[in-house]
């Protein structure tokens, strides 16, 4: 193999198998443009291999869907556990908010991302944060629901990060 062929092979390998350093650099650059750098880094570092900006946005949206699904399961379990009718009503309200997020908003946003429909994706992701905020307003009076409050804040913050990444795609 001559020198020219070897250089071409190295270039192709570099393109085909990007180094982790490049992935880490991209994640760092992207996360610096989001409102919650540490959350962005912790979410994307382990899931960024070979992904471009669109792929990172998808990872964030998938993470949101996973967290929202877990939150809905948590709410349903708390509804069954609580003897307090006031807490049960607040939880039922939150469940009604999270159901469309899990079944429609985030899956449609993820699909829109894959199709390059970034504005629609950003809207769906933002809707998830709005629903989490509405749930938060309903439960903020209860110390017993502090764990749900933490979950709502995480969904909101993940949404802010995901939307910031999608906005990078809109500019590009």
* Domains of the chain with CATH codes: 46-170 (1.20.140.40)
pLDDT tens for 75-114 read 999 999 999 999 999 999 999 999 999 999 999 999 999 9
Burial of 130: CB neighbours in 10 Å, binned 0-12, 13-18, 19+:
middle
d(CA 101, CA 129): 9
d(CA 161, CA 34): 5
Three-state DSSP string of 20-32: HHHHHHHHHHHHC
The answer to whether residue 156 scores a pLDDT higher than 80 is yes
pTM of the model: 0.85
d(CA 134, CA 159): 14
User: Which one, of 130, 87, 82, 80, lies nearest residue 105 by Cα?
Assistant: 130
Mean pLDDT, range 23-29, rounded to an integer? 89
Residue 39: the pLDDT is 97
Residue 162: the pLDDT is 98
d(CA 49, CA 96): 36
pLDDT band (50, 70, 90) for residue 115: very high
């Amino acid at each position: 193999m001559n020198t020219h062929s070897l250089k071409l092979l190295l270039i192709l390998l570099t393109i085909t198998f990007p180094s982790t350093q490049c992935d880490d650099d991209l994640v760092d650059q992207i996360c610096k443009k989001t409102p919650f750098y540490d959350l962005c880094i912790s979410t994307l570092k382990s899931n960024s291999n070979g992904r471009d900006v669109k792929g990172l946005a998808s990872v964030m949206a998938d993470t949101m869907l996973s967290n929202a699904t877990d939150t809905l399961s948590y709410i349903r379990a708390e509804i069954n556990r609580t003897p307090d009718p006031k807490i049960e009503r607040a939880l039922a309200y939150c469940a009604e908010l999270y159901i469309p997020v899990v079944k429609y908003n985030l899956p449609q946003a993820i699909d829109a991302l894959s199709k390059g429909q970034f504005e629609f994706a950003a809207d769906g992701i933002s809707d998830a944060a709005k629903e989490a905020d509405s749930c938060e307003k309903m439960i903020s009076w209860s110390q017993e629901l502090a764990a749900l409050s933490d979950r709502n804040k995480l969904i909101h913050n993940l949404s802010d990060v995901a939307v910031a990444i999608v906005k990078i795609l809109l500019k590009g």
